[in-house]
Structure formats: structure tokens, C-alpha cells
Structure 1
Amino acid sequence: MHPFRAAIEAQDIDAALALLHEDVVFRSPVVFTPYRGRFAVAPILKAVVQVFEDFHYTRELTSPPDHALLFRARIGDMHLEGCDFLQEAPDGQITEFTVMIRPLKGIHALAEAMQSRLA
């Protein structure tokens, strides 16, 4: 099991954030421009774990240095599926983190819920 998955499943956000390289590039399913740096990603990750309900990883695909963590979650009555794509440096820190979500209505629900948390 990937350490990021283990940290998220244990609801240990600090441990998950510690796995991110200080200059991590985070690509959100909601905005086009990537976020850069652990400092910029921290509030997003902390908010999303509050927004997602019934979050659970369903599958893990690994071909180091790349990892795909498939998940399911809910926002209110909207069910969604997604994938966290991680790329690691040789030391194991996550240098790139891309999230994709389906369906489109799920992305809209996420954007709305996140906007209220991050405003």
C-alpha cells in the first residue's frame, strides 16, 4: 500500500502532507493552473478531506515512480469516482499530484463545496 494512501485512510493529514515534496505540483480537477508547493496544497488537502464523505480507495496501480490511487466518495447525494495520480522523486517524496474526478456533476459539487471551505 502506498504511504499516501495509508495516511489518508488513517485520516492522518499531517502524515500525508509530509509525503509531499516542498515544491510539489498539484493539479486540481477544478482549476486549470497548477498549485505549487506544499504550503499551497495543504489547505486544499485539509478541506477536501472534510468535503468528501464515505471516501475510500478502491484500487491501487503502481509502476514506480508513478502511482494511481482510484477512489470513490460522496458529496451530499452526489456520488463520484476519481483517481489520485502521484509521481515520486527517488527519495519517495511526491513531486507531482494530479486529481481527476467523474462525472462532471461531481466536479461541480466538489468545486462548490471547496469554494465555501477555502473562501
Structure 2
Amino acid sequence: MHAFRQAVEARDHAAIEGLLAEDVVFTSPVAFRPYPGKAITAAILRAVMRVFSDFEYVREINDVAGTDHALMFTATVGGKSINGCDFLHVNADGLIDDFMVMVRPLSAATALSEAMGAQFDQIRLEATDPTVRLF
């Protein structure tokens, strides 16, 4: 099992952040531009954990080299059931440097977009001031 999956399932925010490279790029399923950097990525992941309920990884696929991972999940957001996949790439140091999320169906993606939009002021605050965090 990938260490990121273990950290998420334990809801261990410090461990999750510790697995991110400083230059990680997060590609959201509901935002046009990727988000570069560890601080914003960690803040987004904390917000996701606040808006998702019933989150569960249901399948994990890893490449032979151990650098690419697909973690399929289910969750609920805004009363909608969502299926998704976290695509992770790890660098030579074993840290996540590329993190892309895809979700379906459209109605759940829309609910996710709305829920994360409501979190974005807090996300920005957490990304710029690490002493201000909601868990």
C-alpha cells in the first residue's frame, strides 16, 4: 500500500504534507490551472478532507518502477456520490511531485466544485500562514 494512501486513511495531515515535494504540482478536477507548490497542495488536500464524507480508497494500481500510482476512491460531497482517482508520481526522493485528481459523475464534480469554492478563502489563508489551519 502506498504511504500516501495510509496517511489519508489515517487522516494524518502531517504525514500527507511530509510526502509532498516542495515543487509538487496539483491538478484539480474542477480548476482550469494546476496549483504549483507544497503549501497550496497541502491546504487543498486538507480542504478536500473537510468536504468529503464517507471517503474510501477502493483500489490501488502501481507501476513496476514504483513511480506512478493510481488510487481509486469513493466519497460523498454535497449529498452526491462521487468516484475518483488520485494519480500520483513520485520523484527520485520518493516524494509526490505530480498529483492529478479526476472525478465523476458530472453532478458530483459540480458539487465538489461548489464545496471547494466555499473553502477557497480558507485554503489561501492556510497556504500562506501555516499557523492557521482547520482540520
Q: Normalised by the size of structure 1, how large is the TM-score?
A: 0.97
Q: Matched residues in 1 for 2:79 and 2:96: separation?
A: 32
Question: Which residue is 1:76 aligned to?
Answer: 78
Give % identity: 51
Pair 1:12 & 2:12 matched: yes
Q: Distance in 2 between matches of 1:42 and 1:25?
A: 11
Contact 1:53 1:74 in 2 (8 A): yes
Q: Distance in 2 between matches of 1:91 and 1:43?
A: 22
Deviations 1:38-61 (A, max 9, x none): 011122111100100000000000
Q: Aligned in 2, Cα 1:12/1:33: closer, same or farther, shift over 3 Å?
A: same
Partner SS for 2:99: strand
Contact 1:43 1:118 in 2 (8 A): no
The count of corresponding residues between Structure 1 and Structure 2 is 119
Q: Give the 5 Å matches for 1:1-119.
A: 1-63=1-63, 64-119=66-121
Give per-residue Cα distances to partners, 1:33-90, cap 9 Å, x unaligned: 1000001112211110010000000000000210000000001320010000000012
Identify, as 1 or 2, the structure richer in strand.
Answer: 1
Larger radius of gyration: 2
5+ residue gaps, structure 2: 122-135
SS of alignment partner, residue 30 of structure 2: coil
Q: CA deviation at 1:92?
A: 0.7
Q: Gaps (5+ residues) in structure 1?
A: none
Shift of 1:9: 0.1
Matched to 2:24, the amino acid is V
CA RMSD, Structure 1 to Structure 2 (Å): 0.8
- Which stretches of structure 1, 4 residues or more, deviate above 3 A after TM superposition? none
